[in-house]
Amino acid sequence: MDYQELFRKKEWYARCRESLPEFTMFTYEQAFEVEYTHNSTAIEGNTLSLIETKVLLEDGISIGGKALREIYEAVNHRKAYRYVKECIKQGKLLDEKIVKDIHALLMENILTGGIYRNVQVYISGARHMPPPPELMYRQIKDFYADLSWKGKKLNQIELAAWTHAEFVKIHPFTDGNGRTARLIMNYQLMAEGFPAVSVAKEDRLEYFKTLDAYAVEGNLQPFANLLTGLVDRQMDKIIELSRQQQGTAPSNTT
C-alpha cells in the first residue's frame, strides 16, 4: 500500500470509528492497551504473558513468581500510554518535556526517569553504537529542534517512523529507550488521526533490522514500510468492527 492510499483509508477509518458505540470503542481501546503493553515490554525482555498482563492491568491482581520490576514495567507502560493520549487530547505538540515525562512514568519505582545518561551504552546485537554522552546531548537537542521542520519535509507516516528511529539511534536514556520510542512514534500517529500500533514481540527481529538499517545506513524506508503495514492492519480492525456492528462499514468514498 502506498502512502496516498493509506491517507485516503484514514478518512474511511475515522468515519468507521465515529460510527461505533462508545462502549464498543472503550472495550477495544482497553484490549489494545493490554496488547500494546504486553508487546512493548516483552520486546525488551519482560516475561509476563498476554493473559498475565491482562489480569494485572484489568483486574489489579499481582502475578506470583514474577520480578517486581516486570510488574512495574507493565503498570507504568499503561500510565505512560494514557498520558500520551491525554496530551494529544489537549492538542500538545511532542516536545522535550513530554518525552521526559513519558520516560519518568515508564521508570516509576524502577529508576529515576526523565534524566539523560552520562555514560556510554551498548546495544546487544546491533551494528550501531549510540553516541558518547557529550555527543548525545547535542544530538538529542537537535532531535527536538528537528521535530517541527521534519514535519514539513516528511509525510505523517515518515515523520512517526523518523521520530522513533532517530530517538533510538541517539539512545538518550540508560534504560527504556525502546518503550519511549514506540510511545512517541504513536504520539505522532495519533496526533494526525491514525491509530496507535503495536509491534508484536514475534516480529521483533524484522523490527530491529529495519531500525538498524536507519542507524547504520540512514535508510528510513524499511522502517517506514513496516510502520505503514502496521497502521494499515490496525485501521482494518476498526473498519471490520464497524462492519460487524452495523452490517456494513461506512463507504470508502470522499
* Burial class for 84, CB neighbours closer than 10 Å (0-12, 13-18, 19+): buried
Concerning whether 171 is annotated as a catalytic residue, the answer is yes
Residue 214 to residue 162: CA distance in whole angstroms:
9
- Residue among 77, 103, 164, 171 flagged as catalytic: 171
Residue 134 to residue 128: CA distance in whole angstroms:
17
Angle at 103 between CA 130 and CA 108, to 5 degrees: 125
- What are the Cα distances from residue 85, in Å, to 40, 101, 153, 193? 17, 13, 25, 12
252 neighbors 34 (Cβ within 8 angstroms): no
**Residues annotated catalytic, as ranges:** 171
